[in-house]
Structure 1
Amino acid sequence: MVQTIRIEAAARGRAGKGAARATRREGLVPGVIYGAKEEATLIALDPRVVMKELHKGGWQSHLYEVAVTDGPTVRTLMRDVQFDPVSDRPIHIDFQRLAPGARIRVKVPVTFLNEEECPGLKAGGVLNVVRREVEVFAAVDAVPESFVIDLGEAKIGDSLRWSAVQDKGGAKPVISGRDFVVATVAPPTVDEDTTIVAPPPPPEATKQKAPPAGGAAKAPAKKK
């Protein structure tokens, strides 16, 4: 199941753009915890902690226990991160508070097993990943760390669909009513032969000499 990560946060007393700018001047990233029919909690976080989580990848499917100074520890999902358009540093973070027993909408990454043993890839095929993440509804305490698809028997032309996921953990896809494609084993790309067309030969030089510059050519003299 999905890992739970604990991060520390300081409480903020005031809301608004001015208060958020003041928090950034202190070297912290302002944030908010909302949801579960409770009042929003204003927080400030160490930017190094934030960047560490963002660099891990898959942060949208991780559970975070946010320990607020002089306050409660709240189980959350990191829902949105705003970045400075110039420095590309995080400038605000939204966390969604999770109620016990609730089902949440979350993106779960897809991983593939046995790529080295895959018959289609051995034959020169290419793994074409259609969905690197699948968005699902899942219980708070049962969000899968990833969805796993085994390529051990996949051949060229095969489509790996939602039904090929090994352990869904009770998650239900947001896309309903069809067994959608997650990946395919595409045939190898064959470069078409390129025919080189030689340029046409230059036109034959005119046998008649060009008239001298500055005047028309003289007519040939008549025989007497």
Structure 2
Amino acid sequence: MSNATYELKAEARDRVGKGSSRELRRNGLIPAVIYGDKQAPISIALSTNEVTKRIHAGGFMTTVATIDVNGQKISVLPKDYQLDPVRDFTMHVDFLRVSADSRVTVEVPVHFINEDKSAIKTGGVLNIVRHEVELVCPANDIPEFLTADLTGLQLGDSIHISNIKLPKGVEPTIDRDFTIASIVAPVAAEGEASE
């Protein structure tokens, strides 16, 4: 479980729109909005450097943050961010307000372990069906990742969501036993197949 959290300082902004957003970006700030929890949305501006560091550090979309808006501390979960398609800098961020009893839907990555204790060691190939799994979980207890143990899997075997131990209070959004990955025979190279 990742209980790591971080704090960002923000300033409330009165003006919204393209012109205002461009001016913020020229001054090293990113326009953002905090919404949800049956309260009015708040338009804010955040430091471009701080947000970019958090995005590139990993786990940005699954870590609850505290945003200090002029002294008022608000717990949030990032829900979306937009990057400039050409220059790859952050253009906008959407945050969802969360409280201690909030449940959120998030995409959590799957990590595979013990590949050397499966048929992969003897030439099998791991065919990953889902790199991430969409989960509903408490906002203050989001798993950093799910662990899929491949120990003992042979060619043709699959690992399903039921094979992964989920933390208490966490459940997948899909209510069937879906496949996460399977071990398959390697595909022969085209040159070898024709000989």
User: Common fold, TM-score beyond 0.5?
Assistant: yes
Aligned counterparts of 1:82 and 1:9: Cα–Cα separation in 2: 18
Aligned counterparts of 2:161 and 2:105: Cα–Cα separation in 1: 17
Aligned counterparts of 1:20 and 1:67: Cα–Cα separation in 2: 20
Pick one of 162, 168, 181 that aligns with 2:179.
181
Q: Secondary structure at the match of 1:141?
A: coil
Aligned counterparts of 1:165 and 1:154: Cα–Cα separation in 2: 14
5+ residue gaps, structure 1 = 196-224
Aligned counterparts of 1:169 and 1:109: Cα–Cα separation in 2: 18
1:77 corresponds to: 77
1:11 corresponds to: 12
| Structure number with larger C-alpha Rg | 1
Aligned length: 192
Aligned counterparts of 1:101 and 1:14: Cα–Cα separation in 2: 33
Cα deviation 1:84-105 (Å, max 9, x = unaligned): 2331211111111113301111
1:170 corresponds to: 169
CA contact (8 A) 1:83 1:91 kept: yes
Aligned counterparts of 1:105 and 1:31: Cα–Cα separation in 2: 20
What is the one-letter code of the residue matched to 2:46? L
Q: Secondary structure at the match of 1:148?
A: strand
TM-score norm. by structure 1 comes to: 0.79
Q: Secondary structure at the match of 2:52?
A: helix
Aligned counterparts of 1:45 and 1:189: Cα–Cα separation in 2: 49
5+ residue gaps, structure 2 = none
Cα deviation 1:168-196 (Å, max 9, x = unaligned): 332111111x100011111122234324x
CA contact (8 A) 1:77 1:95 kept: yes
Structure 1 residue 23: deviation in Å? 1.2
Higher helix share: 2
- CA 1:110 to 1:127, structure 2 compared with 1: closer, same or farther past 3 Å? same
2:112 corresponds to: 112
Higher strand share: 2
Question: Whose relative contact order is higher, 1 or 2, with alpha carbons under 8 Å and at least 6 apart?
Answer: 2
Aligned-pair Cα RMSD in Å:
1.6
Q: Secondary structure at the match of 2:44?
A: strand
Q: Secondary structure at the match of 2:162?
A: helix
